A and B are shown apart, each in its own frame.
Chain A
Amino acid sequence: MDPKTEVIIQLKNLTKKFKFVTAVNNLNLEIYKGEILGFLGPNGAGKTTTMKLIASLLHPNEGEIFIRENGKLQKLSSHNKDYLLDNIGFLIENPEFYKDRTPRQLLTLFAKLKGYPRKKIENQVEEIVHMVGLSQWIDQKLGTFSKGMRQKIGILSALVHDPSILVLDEPQTGLDPKARREIRELLLQLKNQGKTIFLSSHLLYEIAEIADRVAIISHGILVACDTLENLESQAKSSQIQVELLNIKNMNDINEAGFQIDKLIQSFLSEPIRYNKDSGVFELPFDGDPEKQYKILQILVQNEMKIIDFTVSKADLLETLYLQHISQSDKTYKEFQKKAIKVEKII
């Protein structure tokens, strides 16, 4: 079997209701072995709740969770959870540490709790701390660590027992760009070691660069789940950014804009824009790669002096993401209105 499509965690019709909200609503999701699956949704969408359900920290009102162990997908229940969850490392919500403990003490405790072979613990702890470049800090108190360092230790706390699956809840949130990049690199490194990573975020760009697939959740409902490429091609609108040589004044802009418009108007969904800040022309189109190729071809054939031509992934996805979210917002509001009406009648 293709390892890419072997399901390692399966969520089936998962529903979790709290008093006032349905945090997770009939969620179906499959996580494949060896992939990084990004779990994207605004704050309050139900990401943490979903992860807590997988961790058995919460129990679903409806639905089931299956986890592959010994080659079989097995249903998670209260009597096999120790056994099934051993193979998963969790980092749920912001990790906070005992300020007076050191990474060595804490990671050793977690390795022990997870039944990692005792004789190998010391080695393992040193090795993973080395992996994130914090070797000199291994015996320093955690209270003195920066947020980025703490976050790394948080991720290590999830993987110290060498599980093959990692479930990480917003590991990049609140970090500076450098620390975020380091975390992303670490996650890619872990993926290369063969680990499966289920990673949540409320910011698209945090996962766009590393996720193989993205699942978008809003109001507890899964609104999309696919590879980035497929999601992009689904995007109803997106834009090409074109930078031209020798655009110096309004005259140049008008002239070039007019010319581009004449050539490729039929491919565009909206009029051409010029972005003064970045100095590029923005060509709104429907995101179809075929058209993208044609546009480039025509512009080049007509000797437009193109020095840059991009369809920025993040921009595109952002549009898609917002489309999905606002769509689900609408449905949600309608649903609520109906619910309120029903309540009134009752």
Chain B
Amino acid sequence: MENHQIQIKNTGKLREDIYIKENIGSKRKLQQIYDIGYFEIIRNLKKTLILMVIAFVIFILFLIIEEYQFGKGVELPEEPADFALNFLMMIGSLVLISATSYGCSIIVTDFEKLTGNILFPKISRERLFVGRFLANYLMNAFVILFYYILVAFIVFIKYLGIPKILWTSLGWALLYVLLILSFTILFSSFMKSTAGAVVFSLIFNMMVFSIIQSVLSLFSTIEPLFILPYYATIITGCFNMPEGDRFQTFPVMEGFDITLWTTPSPQGALIGTAIFSFVFLFSAYLIFRNRQNK
């Protein structure tokens, strides 16, 4: 009672002693995930804009090449799908760049700069992880979608129609985003700095995997489903999915063949991505959960 009167005197007004707590329980959990995700998207607006500019520049480069060839008298392909395909030659790299820049900072930032001190215990690590992952996936997907819209736009101008296969390809691209993003998040979960996570995941994706792949192509005919960049090939591969074998062998010398796989099958790509993404994300979460400051 006494306390209450002091309150009135000091603040000049009656504060409600207990406010009504909103949505406790699972509704609160979802709300927290949403709030963290929203904050993350706003915080990363600049990054998203820069990546959209990069996507736009890539698109313009391809457009210049097309127009240049057209000017030299090379005719437009008969099929709009073939024309669209010309613009997708660098989509794997675009995914790699964007997923690396989104994924690598997800966990490590809060330890690198100790911003975790202010976040915990206001939110549990589990919900922070889910919220951030969803937000970053959405932003990344948006950048890729933006690129496809540019492509669809130019195809529509030239052919007055958009081939359906372009949207199938978009689907594979978004799946590839999931795969690479999960992989970079795993790096983010144990590396000491964002820069380190970026460098290492790029080294893996651009060098280590392709070295393993080339070595393997010499000695075996196993489909390289454990090589992440291989999953990028279906983004363009789906335009002309082979009826029979999805690999070709070239003899190098007596008894020595090189086996080149052109694209995973849709089932292979789906299952592979699902398994890898789950394993990467789950391990990242476990490492994050037990990670201590400094």
Residues of A within 8 A of B (CB): 3, 34, 55-57, 82-83, 85-86, 90, 92-98, 100-101, 105-106, 109-110, 112-118, 120, 154, 157, 162, 189, 192-194
Contact = CB atoms under 8 A, between A and B. Distances in A.
Interface stretch (B24-32, B190-198, B207-215, B253-261): B24-32
21 contacts: A3-B2, A3-B3, A57-B121, A82-B24, A86-B24, A92-B117, A93-B117, A94-B114, A100-B43, A105-B39, A109-B39, A112-B31, A113-B123, A115-B28, A116-B19, A117-B22, A154-B118, A162-B15, A189-B10, A193-B11, A194-B4
Q: Which are the 8 A-B pairs with shortest beta-carbon distances?
A: A96-B114, A55-B121, A95-B118, A112-B35, A115-B22, A194-B3, A93-B117, A96-B115
A90 B20 CA distance: 20
Interface residues of B, number: 33
A111 to B, nearest CB: 10
A82 B10 CA distance: 30
Interface in B4-23: 4, 6-7, 10-11, 15, 19-23
Interface string B25-61: 1001001100110010011000000000000000000
Given A98-B43, A100-B43, A113 B114 contact: no
B48 to A, nearest CB: 14
Interface of B: 2-4, 6-7, 10-11, 15, 19-25, 28, 31-32, 35-36, 39, 42-43, 113-115, 117-118, 120-123, 293
B19 A83 contact: no
Nearest to B4: A194
A115 B121 contact: no
A96 B35 contact: no
A263 to B, nearest CB: 45
B111 to A, nearest CB: 10
Contact of B7 (A98, A115, A118, A194): A194
Nearest to A192: B10
Contacts of A95: 117-118
A130 to B, nearest CB: 12
Given A86-B21, A113-B35, A194-B7, A96 B28 contact: no
Given A3-B3, A100-B43, A109-B35, A117 B121 contact: no
B6 A192 contact: yes
A121 to B, nearest CB: 11
Given A3-B2, A193-B10, A96 B117 contact: yes
Given A93-B117, A116-B19, A193-B6, 8 more contacts: A94-B117, A95-B117, A100-B43, A101-B43, A109-B39, A113-B32, A154-B118, A193-B10
Given A94-B117, A100-B43, A113 B36 contact: yes
B3 A115 contact: no
A82 B24 CA distance: 8
Contact of A114 (B115, B120, B122): B122
B273 to A, nearest CB: 32
A101 B42 CA distance: 10
B115 A97 contact: yes
B121 A194 contact: no
